[in-house]
Amino acid sequence: MSRISSRSTFGRLEAGPHTGLCRQSLTDSDREVRDWFLQQAESLGCQIKVDEMGNLFAILPGEDNSLPPIGMGSHLDSQPAGGRFDGILGVIAALQVLKTIKENGIKTLPPLAAIDWTNEEGSRFPKMCAGSGVWAGTEGLSECHDLAAIDASPDEAAPPTMGSELRRINYIGSTPCSYLQNPLSAHFELHIEQGSRLERAQKKIGVVGGIQGMRWYTVHCQGTEAHAGATPMDQRADALVVLAKFAVKVEELSLQEGAFGTVGVMRTKTNSTNTVPGGAFCTLDLRHQIEGVLDRIETELRAYLSQLTTSRSGITVLMGRTWSKRSVEFDQIARDCVQSAAVNIVGESMVMDMVSYAGHDSAETATVVPTAMIFVPSKDGVSHNPAEYTSEEHCDLGAQILLEAVLKYDHHLRRTTTASL
């Protein structure tokens, strides 16, 4: 097995805590890192493709360059007050894999591609995973090009859009942004966990089985305003009590089902200390890896609200789903490649099966090509914060496993390509 030649690179990431990064998508700072990425890729002899969304593909030739590359992608953009690991680790590791492959004279069957996906963060242009989303066909190219920057001044005649900013920094390419015209054989992504499950369990590597589904709801409750000092408790139509019980039930069911349930916003509409609230509002954020569990919780919550409104006269509740993202289950073969690479390198006791709580470019690629992810620990679970930190050891192990997983997938392709001959 080839050792990844990464230590010096990841050592630069590890400059100490509280040294964050502000590199929002398609800014001058993003252009600079893109220039650096392409320079690295060219020095490895890679072929470069820039697509219509500014996604960068650094392609190292394989034995059969008619086959779609095995991709290793993540993103180089950050949150406005972000860290130096979220996304960036995956792209640097991909370059390191290419370098190691090249230095060791290894030839994979298909080419390999290190990929920088555009605007994963969605912070400057409010659409997460825009680049990988258009590539996978889940987002529209022109809608994304027309998306205005949220930091645009409201009186600007022509506020910057993704399209105008891609042109401005000269990163709008001619390669079609589509998995059909610019395909991959698979997509592997190394990423920091952005949580503390690995750290708490004292594990080194997470094998990510998928990305949990998310559903957002708003709940409006209408009762009747009444005098707080004269309306008997059993004759009230108190909208707040109903939503308070709802929030308690959300916690109870989420604990029971191992889901995430959050009432993030709650407010009464009347706002008088001595008036029984006639109206109340809350939001709900519900997440779980299994759509069936989300369905069950949603059904139970609706039944609970219905039971509350039946037992209290004069109350109506409207619970509406405002947004959802289906859960993603990663490809079994790609996961097996990651799993067996991880066990080989850190030993079974250091490996944890997990789902990703956050969204990633891999959620998009998984809809069209075999995809898998590798997680490494985040110190204290901190992310989207300058204090974000992953040790050099863990970055190094992650890159090593990325390399080996890709080689295992190459092996799988060789077997199946041969078998189909």
Our CB check for its own copies shows the closer of 83 and 195 to be 195
Tally Cβ neighbours within 10 Å of residue 150. Answer: 12
When the beta carbons of 218 and 417 are compared against its own copies, the nearer one is: 218
**Is residue 280 a contact point for its own copies (CB under 8 A)?**
yes
Contact 336, 208 (CB under 8 A): no
Q: Under 8 Å CB-to-CB from 260, ≥6 apart: which residues?
A: 212, 254, 285, 286, 287, 288, 357
Q: Does 40 bind its own copies (CB under 8 A)?
A: no
Exactly one of 2, 224, 275, 367 binds its own copies (CB under 8 A); that residue is: 275
Residue 233 binding its own copies, by CB under 8 A = yes
CA distance linking residue 189 with residue 211, whole number of Å: 13
| Member of 73, 82, 122, 261 binding its own copies (CB under 8 A) | 261
Report, in Å, the least distance between residue 274 CB and its own copies.
Answer: 5
Please give the DSSP secondary-structure letter assigned to residue 407: H
Min dist. Cβ of residue 340 to its own copies (A):
27
Q: What are φ and ψ of residue 314, in 5° steps?
A: 85, 10
Determine the residue type at 7: R
Residue 243 to residues 160, 294, 324: CA-CA distances in angstroms?
Answer: 41, 20, 22
Q: Could you say which of 270, 324, 340, 417 contacts its own copies (CB under 8 A)? A: 270
| DSSP single-letter state for residue 231 | S
The yes or no reply on residue 418 touching its own copies (CB under 8 A) is no
Torsion of CA 85, 90, 94, 97, to 10 degrees: 70
What is the full DSSP assignment across 8-33?
HHHHHH-S-SS--B---TTSHHHHHH
127 lies in the binding site for its own copies (CB under 8 A): no
Q: Which of 8, 174, 273, 311 binds its own copies (CB under 8 A)?
A: 273
> Which residue from 333, 371, 388, 397 is spatially nearest to 13, judged by alpha carbons?
388
Cβ contact 148:160 at 8 Å: yes
311 in contact with its own copies (CB under 8 A) = no
When the beta carbons of 166 and 214 are compared against its own copies, the nearer one is 214
Q: Applying CB under 8 A, which part among 31-39, 160-168, 221-229, 296-304 lies near its own copies?
A: 221-229
Stretch that binds its own copies, among 81-89, 96-104, 277-285, 400-408 (CB under 8 A): 277-285
Selected binder of its own copies within 19, 29, 175, 283 (CB under 8 A): 283
Looking at 44-52, 68-76, 132-140, 276-284, which segment touches its own copies (CB under 8 A)? 276-284
Q: Residue 208, interface with its own copies (CB under 8 A)?
A: no
> Helices marked H in 151-290 — which ranges?
162-168, 197-201, 239-257
With respect to its own copies, which residue has the nearer C-beta, 76 or 284? 284
Q: Rounded to the nearest 5°, which phi and psi values hold at 222?
A: -120, 125
CB within 8 Å of 152: residues ≥ 6 apart: 159, 160
For its own copies, the closer of residues 41 and 239 by Cβ is 239
Q: Does 279 bind its own copies (CB under 8 A)?
A: no
For residues 79-98, which are near its own copies according to CB under 8 A? none
Q: Considering the rule CB under 8 A, would residue 228 count as an interface residue with its own copies?
A: yes
Residue 83 or 261: the one with the smaller Cβ distance to its own copies is: 261
d(Cα 1, Cα 402) in Å, to the nearest integer? 13
Q: How near is the Cβ of 299 to its own copies at its closest, in Å? A: 19
Residue 287 in the binding site for its own copies (CB under 8 A)? yes
* 3-class secondary-structure state, position 152: coil
Which positions lie near its own copies, rule CB under 8 A?
194-195, 212, 214, 216, 227-234, 238, 240-241, 243-245, 247-248, 251, 254-255, 259-268, 270-277, 280, 283-285, 287, 357-358, 381
